[in-house]
Amino acid sequence: MPRRRTRRVKYEPGMVVLRVLSDDRLAGVVSLLASNRLMGNGELAERLGLSTGYVNYLCRKLEKWGVLRAYRDPVSGRILWSIADTKTARLVINELRKRESERIARTIEELLGRMGV
């Protein structure tokens, strides 16, 4: 029986950044993992308010795009997720940080405006 070929697709980093930033759940997974080093599906699901199965689906998608990397915990055998060391992951994290700082600046301006300063 001939061996089945798998099609390898190289994802454009700019398109991946747009996809991640357009979906709040994907952006939430990346931002949580950017602040914490390693997290499992259960921890991510609890913090995001999603099911563990759906979080696993999101993480696998991000892994396929080169944003996340899976590690197996040698003690418990659980899969732990971390940010991958790729150009795509760096672009996504930089954009998330930029959006967060813009949101903080808008909030400060709004509060100063309410105070009349």
Query: Band of the pLDDT at 90, cuts 50, 70, 90?
Result: very high
* β partners of residue 18: none
* 11/8: higher pLDDT: 11
In whole angstroms, what is the distance from residue 113 CA to residue 117 CA?
A: 6
Length of the chain: 117
Give the count of beta carbons closer than 10 Å to the beta carbon of residue 50: 18
Look over the chain and give the mean of its residue pLDDT values, rounded to a whole number.
90
Domain spans, the chain: 13-115
What is the topology classification, in CATH, of domain 13-115?
Answer: Arc Repressor Mutant, subunit A (1.10.10)
Does position 24 have pLDDT exceeding 90, yes or no?
Answer: yes
